[in-house]
Amino acid sequence: MEGIEALMRHIYVFPLVGAALGLIYAAFALALTEITPPGIAAALIIVVIYKLCGINHVDGLADFGDGVSAHTTVEKKISAMKDIYIGTGGVVFVVVVILALYASLTAIPREVLPIALVVAEVTAKQSMIAFAAFSEPLHKGFGSIAIESTSRSDFFAGLIIAALICGALAGPLGIAVLLAAQVTALYMTIVSRRNFGGATGDGFGATNEVARCFALVSAAILTTDGLVGEVLFWTPW
């Protein structure tokens, strides 16, 4: 726990963690797209993502989905989120996110895909900072450590780091994807507050998954529309 608390005091470096992970995904994407069809490459990239990151955040997404989809009181929504068994809402949330990941990975042009993966992971980690910075903890736990340790200054510091990485890698496209992910994170804080009265570690992890998904979907939309892709995608190098 001391290590976790120390990490959370420097949560603004999360985008750098995302960049390191994204570079690994990019390396796999470069190799896989050379030797496999797009659909197979996309599926294997998803396997790589969850092999490296684990499924803790996906578990949070499932629990978050169970709580949000429970049509009852706030107390019962919280109880559904804490339940150790996965419900229909959790299954739907996870399936939709993975389907969207798969669809976007197959839609993003092959030459852009490695960079898009780095940008998406950077923006996903920055989105976790945004969720923590603008939320109030619901109860004690891992999520509360992150939320209580994250200030608005951490959010802006992380945003600057993320913007520099995304802008350097993908120009205006990177910035556009970053902004889309941040809007997603702020929406997640609203959903969490409205349904549970606060935020938990499940919401923290769910934000990572949903933001990565929205980032890749945004990249797919912006790079497959001919002129839009040409205008938005450039790099200084």
Q: What is the pLDDT of residue 228?
A: 47
CA separation for the pair 69, 147 (Å, rounded): 23
- The partner residues of 77 in beta bridges, in order of sequence, read none
How many CA within 13 A on the CB side of residue 42?
Answer: 19
At 187-232, the pLDDT tens digits run 999 999 999 988 888 899 999 999 999 999 999 999 875 544 454 5
Q: Is the alpha carbon torsion for 86, 82, 197, 2 positive or negative?
A: negative
At 44-102, the pLDDT tens digits run 999 999 999 888 899 999 999 999 998 888 888 888 888 888 888 999 999 999 999 99
Provide the phi-psi class of 171: left if phi over 0, else alpha when psi is between -120 and 50, else beta: left
Q: Which two tokens stand for residue 141?
A: 């736990």
Q: Which two tokens stand for residue 70?
A: 């429970």
Q: Which two tokens stand for residue 193?
A: 């507050």
The pTM score is: 0.89
Closest to 70 (Cα-Cα) out of 80, 83, 85, 59: 80
